[in-house]
Copies of this chain bind each other. A is one copy, B any other.
Amino acid sequence: MSDFEQWQELARQLRVDSIRTSSAAASGHPTSSLSAADLMAVLMSKHLHYDFDEPENPNNDHLVFSKGHASPLLYAMYRAAGAIDNEELMTYRQLGSRLPGHPMPSALPYVDVATGSLGQGLPIGVGIALAGKQLDYLPYRVWVLCGDSEMTEGSMWEAFEHAGHFGLDNLTAIIDVNRLGQRGFTMHQWDVNAFVKPAEAFGWKAIVIDGHDVEAIDEAYTEAAGTPGSPTVIIAKTIKGKGVTEVEDRNEAHGKPVKDEETAIKELGGESNVSVQVSKPITDQAPHVFEVAGAELPQFKVGEEVATRKAYGQALTALGSHRGDVVCLDGEISNSTHAEIFTKAHPGRYFEMYIAEQLMVAAATGIQVRGWVPYASTFAAFWSRAYDFIRMAAISGADLNLCGSHAGVSIGEDGASQMGLEDIAMFRAVHGSTVLHPSDANQTAQLVWQMADLKGIRYLRTARPALPVIYEPDEEFHVGGAHVAKRSDDDKVTIVAAGICVHEALEAAETLDGEGLAVRVIDAYSIKPIDADTLQEAARDTGRLITVEDHWPEGGLGDAVLEVFADSDLTPRIVKIAVRKIPGSAPSKELIKDSGIDAASIADAARKLAKTDPR
């Protein structure tokens, strides 16, 4: 049998298996799989280099299904490669199966990242390709199968623009232009120029082919791998549901099994057991290692005025000198987030992502696929731009360090658009996340270092104003802890705060002390996980809590504290102080006051609360 015939035979099997799995599951996307079967048959037969016996081989290529709903095709490929057997293939979409509706790395070692939210696979592929070129220095290739419908997501064009800018010739995007979306025609249908022109404009090589012509597909992959200096996109004109008359090029055949499985399989030539020996990696090189000189945690003197964002930059830079696996990304504001300090010290491990937060998270996700430890930073407010990417990164089980600077009204004059006031809520609601919000430079430094070894999405919230260092460098802070910043045996009220609000709380406490009202102050720098023990002790001792945050009332520190007492024997009265109106523009101190999260407002609330009976 010629290569062409073998590829066609494999493609037929991939189609049959896509029909079988989705029919068995009574759900799934067989038609979206059928359109890309030839593309993937040729890829895995000749161009993909992947050792299925050793998925952790650092020289393996990466194959990302940006159109994650074509999972039946992906799993059919795994079966053909001998990575899963027929029995497992038929567990598709069953509880406990390794083959969920959209691919997830937690289930299968061959899957790098979870996809299914369209427009994310290619941006993540950019990150993996960047790692290949600029971190690992390895010749693996990144292949990304994209849908045509997802090309209207701006994140795809972000990926095109950045990949072109970075000259990622180790990246190949394959667009399956089957012209049918979920509910009807795509924006551009089969007008392939609608993809060619922007791709070329962004510096990519574009190759248009008939996506069912295996010879043309083979040539295109060869050309892609042999085009130095720029990424390549293969724009494959295909037919959705190809090979099965019942659904071929038919609207309303999206995302459901075929009605007549038997006829479909018969039409495709029946079940088969074709197996493919996927090529092994082309090299056995070891990934590049960055040599480091070693460093200690930076230390700050009590009383010195240092913004926590500045401490972030310094601690991260030191961490970069301590560990060669730490890399840094920023969204064109590194002189504000202070990632800039890292940039200057470790230019080879810094990635300027420009103003493209979605791509920044995607790239960080791709970079951690390769075992690197990314720290990415932007304003706290602008992480909201990438929330879907963060959500999906958590589903991927990705380990990301994200720093949001310029949190809250304390930024001052720039006004509401630049103020992160929902970031804690947003990050708390990410599965398995860690949320940290330090008040002081030494605390920040310790947390920045500890973050590196946590699992999942770790968020560090820093602030703009330079405020006095309040803790000695040898004071210890840890994720999950809280620091009792002020206490006495006579405390009548406890103020729980984080970040700049700790400073306001301490000022309020001092005022109240002068009035004979003793209050405890807890610096709850670890918001998730929160230190329940310290809060419970305070509840037992004082019976009354005030939470203070430079954040909207919903989903922040206050809610984290409420949760501790929901189903506990302790019933402290809890007053939540938070930002409750859209802030204006004014100097930091004025806005803190105007928002009612200042020392005076805290003191007022404490006086009032102290007069109530503990519950």
Residues on the B chain within 8 Å of A384, using CB: 387-388, 391
CB pair B429–A154 under 8 Å, yes or no, is no
In the bound complex, do residue A95 and residue B422 qualify as a contact, i.e. CB atoms below 8 Å apart? no
> Which of A135-143, A281-289, A582-590 has 4 or more CB atoms under 8 Å from chain B?
A582-590
Closest beta carbon of chain B to A543's beta carbon, Å: 11
A 551-566 to B, binary, CB cutoff 8 A, 1 in contact else 0: 0111110110011001
A243 contacts partner chain B, Cβ-Cβ < 8 Å = no
**Whole-angstrom CA separation of A416 from B95 in the bound complex:** 12
Render A569-597 as a binary contact track against B, CB cut-off 8 A, 1 for contact: 10101111000011011100011001000
Chain B: minimal CB distance from A533 (Å): 19
B566–A555 CB distance below 8 A: no
**Which residues of chain B have C-beta atoms less than 8 A from A225's C-beta?**
none
Is the Cβ of A161 less than 8 Å from the Cβ of B152? yes
Q: A463-474 toward B: CB 8 Å interface, digit per residue (1/0)?
A: 000000000000
B566 touches A574 (CB 8 A): yes
From residue A546, how far is it (CB to closest CB) to chain B in Å? 10
Contact A413 B93 (CB under 8 A): yes
Q: Can you name the residue of chain B whose Cβ is closest to the Cβ of A392? A: B417
Cβ–Cβ contact A559 & B563, under 8 A: yes
- Whole-angstrom distance between the Cβ of A596 and the nearest chain B Cβ: 13
> Is the pair B563, A576 in contact by a Cβ cutoff of 8 Å?
yes
A38 → chain B closest CB, angstroms: 24
Bound-state CA distance A117–B406 (Å) is: 13
User: Interface segment, A209-217, A295-303, A315-323, A333-341?
Assistant: A333-341
Q: What separation, in Å, do the CA atoms of A562 and B104 have in the docked complex?
A: 34
- Within 8 Å CB of A340, what residues of B? 183
Complex Cα distance, B158 from A155, in Å, reads 8
A276 within 8 A of B: no
A161-204, CB under 8 A of B: which get 1 and which 0?
Answer: 11001000000000000000111001100000000011011100
Q: Compute how far the CA of A412 lies from the CA of B28 in the bound complex, rounded to whole angstroms.
A: 11
Query: Is A324 on the interface with B (CB-CB < 8 A)?
Result: no
- Given A94-B586, A357-B388, A381-B388, 10 additional A-B pairs, CB 8 A: A95-B584, A95-B585, A102-B416, A118-B355, A161-B198, A382-B388, A392-B417, A422-B430, A559-B559, A566-B574
In the complex, the 7 A-B pairs of residues with the closest C-beta atoms, listed nearest first: A154-B154, A116-B417, A197-B201, A154-B158, A425-B429, A157-B157, A101-B415
A residues within 8 Å of B by Cβ?
Answer: 25, 27-28, 68, 93-97, 99-102, 104, 106, 114-119, 149-150, 152-159, 161-162, 165, 181-183, 186-187, 197-198, 200-202, 332-336, 340, 354-359, 381-382, 384-385, 387-388, 391-392, 394-395, 412-418, 421-422, 425-426, 428-432, 528, 552-556, 558-559, 562-563, 566-567, 569, 571, 573-576, 581-582, 584-586, 590-591, 594, 615
